Amino acid sequence: MRIVLLGAPGSGKGTQAKLLVEKYKIPQMSTGDLLRAEVSANTELGKRAKASMDGGQLVSDEVVLGMIQTRLSKPDAKNGFILDGFPRNIPQAQSLDAMLARLGQPLQLALLVDVDTDVLMKRLTGRRTCGSCGAIYNVHFSPSKTGNKCEKCGGALTHRSDDNEQTVGNRLNVYQQQTAPLVNYYKAQGKLRTVRGVGAVNVIFKNVTDIIESQIRPLADVMGKIESAAARQAAKAKAAEAKAAAAAKAAKLAAAAAKIKPKVKPAPPAAKVKPVAKKVVAKKASPKTKPKKAVKAKPKKVK
């Protein structure tokens, strides 16, 4: 499941995000946590973020989106994520949608934790924090039974200097001007769901999970089937492409081999050998040998 949480400062969306992490085993991605992690690891994105912060400037949307993309590549984000604190305005939301579309991981739900402004003021201005263990109380809704001492460890409770009405009022005004328009942005996409952020934490969480189970689970099943079919098609296309590439390579090698094959010249025809005429040499008579004279036969006498 891929969720973005919306809500004004003090709405309790951070608390709901932690409970969702425990139940669904998916990571919560807070821009503050991402920034601290990247700066601590001294990554390239962390260096760029630190340079902006050291210069008193806001970290650019490009850097924040890069950090989110890096975080999404980790194994624990395979089954989904919860975005908390980003996006803060329409341009950021549009850039986030574009990035998630490229990754094939579009948002499935924008969950608004809705709380009235007067309640938010009391929550923020009445907040008290234990300086020892970090436990949080509220003088209006959940005061410590031990006065200005922590019930858990006995530590002193402190009031943050920025939890005053003027500062809190300014923060809420900024939210109304910049972040509240995201409600209509996600409503137009059909992804917005709203839960009242007033009452016991476990009751609010039950309402949140009911929304998730009724809205995301069926959609997730359908999307899972679509993604599986798309993955199979992509695998087939990739295999066909690899086969075609192999055939083309084989043909190229065959053509190259044909070009470099040595040409064997045919042997020249055997030269015709003319028969050598034998010379007949007449034998000459030996000079020592004289020809025999013909002997004349003598007539026989008749008696």
Catalytic residue among 23, 47, 78, 160: 160
Q: Is 88 a catalytic residue?
A: yes
CA–CA separation, 126 vs 159, rounded Å? 8
Rg (CA), the chain: 49
User: 182 vs 16, 90, 120, 185, CA distance in Å?
Assistant: 19, 6, 19, 5
One-character DSSP codes across the chain: -EEEEE--TTSSHHHHHHHHHHHH---EEEHHHHHHHHHHHT-HHHHHHHHHHHTT-PPPHHHHHHHHHHHHTSGGGTT-EEEES---SHHHHHHHHHHHHHHT----EEEEEE--HHHHHHHHHTEEEETTT--EEETTTB--TTTTB-TTT-PBEE--TT-SHHHHHHHHHHIIIIITTHHHHHHHTT-EEEEE--S-HHHHHHHHHHHHHHHHHHHHHHHHHHHHHHHHHHHHHHHHHHHHHHHHHHHHHHHHHHHHSPPPPPPPPPPPPPPPPPP-PPPPPPTTPPPPPPPPPPPPPP-
Catalytic residue among 18, 88, 122, 187: 88
For the chain, the first-to-last Cα distance in angstroms comes to 167
Q: Is 171 a catalytic residue?
A: yes
Catalytic residue among 50, 122, 171, 187: 171
Catalytic residue among 2, 71, 123, 127: 127
Q: Is 160 a catalytic residue?
A: yes
Catalytic residue among 13, 71, 123, 128: 13
Q: Is 128 a catalytic residue?
A: no
Active site residues: 13, 88, 127, 160, 171
